[in-house]
Amino acid sequence: MSYVGDRGEISAVHVPGGHAPMVVMRSGATAWFVAPGSLTAGRYGLFRWDMPAQAGGPSPHFHRTFEPP
């Protein structure tokens, strides 16, 4: 699947708090799989990242392509 726009697209799937699978990284960052491809029919993936100060990593961004799990 590819997206050819210049900016992200507003869309969402509601997952109540505490129901999204979570991963804790060595850096102390926490990632929740809020809406992986398995919940969006492979159309997109939405992940929440909480990162401690100075954790590093990319600035906010989006990907034009997505490989569903």
- Cα separations (Å) of 11 from 3, 20, 25, 26? 13, 17, 27, 30
- pLDDT, residue 38, reads 79
Which residue range is the domain that position 46 belongs to?
A: 20-52
| Residue at 27 is within a domain | yes
Domain count, the chain: 1
- The answer to whether the pTM exceeds 0.85 is no
pLDDT digits (tens, 9 = 90+) for 14-32: 667 666 777 888 888 888 8
Segments of the chain with pLDDT less than 50: 69
| Residue at 39 is within a domain | yes
| Residue at 5 is within a domain | no
- pLDDT, residue 37, reads 78
| Residue at 28 is within a domain | yes
- pLDDT, residue 45, reads 78
For residue 44, the one-letter residue type is: Y
| Residue at 29 is within a domain | yes
| Residue at 12 is within a domain | no
